[in-house]
Amino acid sequence: MTQPAAAASPRRRLSFEWLGVAPFIVFALMFLAFPTLYLLAGAFIGRDGQFTFDNIAALFTDQIIAAYWISIRISGASAILGAAIGLAMALAIIRGRLPAPLRAAVMTFSGVASNFAGVPLAFAFIATLGRLGLVTIILKTVFGFDLYRAGFNLLSFWGLTLTYLYFQIPLMLLIIAPAIDGLKKEWSEAAQILGASPWQFWRYIGLPILWPSVLGTLSLLFANAFGAIATAYGLTGSSLNIVPILLYAQIRGDALQNPGLGAALALGMVLITACANIIYLVISARAERWMK
């Protein structure tokens, strides 16, 4: 008796779920992958259109190294201060038993402020803390304190860092809030039963649990500040030699225009921000596993 033929293996059909992801894939390819490949190719093309390593070599000149260094310092300072202030505010709002409407109001404002940047933000700070800004005039006329004679300058390292804090602190609040909500109430109650003070709870339990999330958010804040160009250009123009402004001068400038060098500068920024984002993704994944 002959055996029946083996049933044909079912064909693997394309799932319709991919249609929902397709717009994101197309968007990522058009505005992330393809521009990055274009920068990679443009970084090795000279003014004459020929292949060259001069643009990469120019990244190690004193001027460009100084621009990268001050950009890293501003990004690091705004990330550290934003993370510290945002964490303190989040702990006060979420764990401090403040009214629930206050938390809702702060989170709503944070969602708006974290995306408020560019020229409008620069104008807001100039109108507030500029030489003729509202706060500057009030301090001088009412309290007799000249902010700029005391050494403050909005168009400087600390001025730009202070401006970045406007969107860094709300971003920290939004990202760290779920991690703080993940701290179980039973942990603090058990610590109190065992005689631990609130300081000891945060020193030995709370902060060690939050630490991976804080480190991951810190790297994201660094990448967020390092890639900001519209706010820095609208606030300082060309008075502060940071990488985004130097990049803009190489691509759109009249005297210093060198698209190949601009592509090399942009490629360096992409590598730095990519490293920061990878650190954030890795640490965040570990933090989520720990919280589970």
- Which pLDDT score, from 0 to 100, does residue 168 have? 94
Overall average pLDDT of the 165-189 stretch: 88
CATH number belonging to domain 31-291: 1.10.3720.10
180 CB-near residues (< 8 Å, 6+ apart):
90, 91, 94, 95, 210
Q: Out of 79-83, 127-131, 207-211, 237-241, give the one with best mean pLDDT.
A: 79-83
Tell me what the mean pLDDT of segment 202-231 comes to.
85
Mean pLDDT to the nearest integer, 117-131: 88
Going by pLDDT thresholds of 50, 70 and 90, the confidence category of residue 137 is: very high
The pLDDT value given to residue 239: 74
Beta bridge partners of 51: 45
Of all residues in the chain, the percent with pLDDT exceeding 70 is 90
Distance CA 11, CA 21 (A): 22
Residues 6+ apart with CB under 8 A from 100: none
**With 90 as the cut, is the pLDDT of residue 180 above it?**
no
pLDDT, position 178: 87
Average pLDDT over residues 14-32: 80
List the one residue out of 253, 219, 233 whose CA is nearest residue 163.
233
Range 265-281 average pLDDT: 85
Q: Could you tell me the residue ranges of all domains in the chain?
A: 31-291
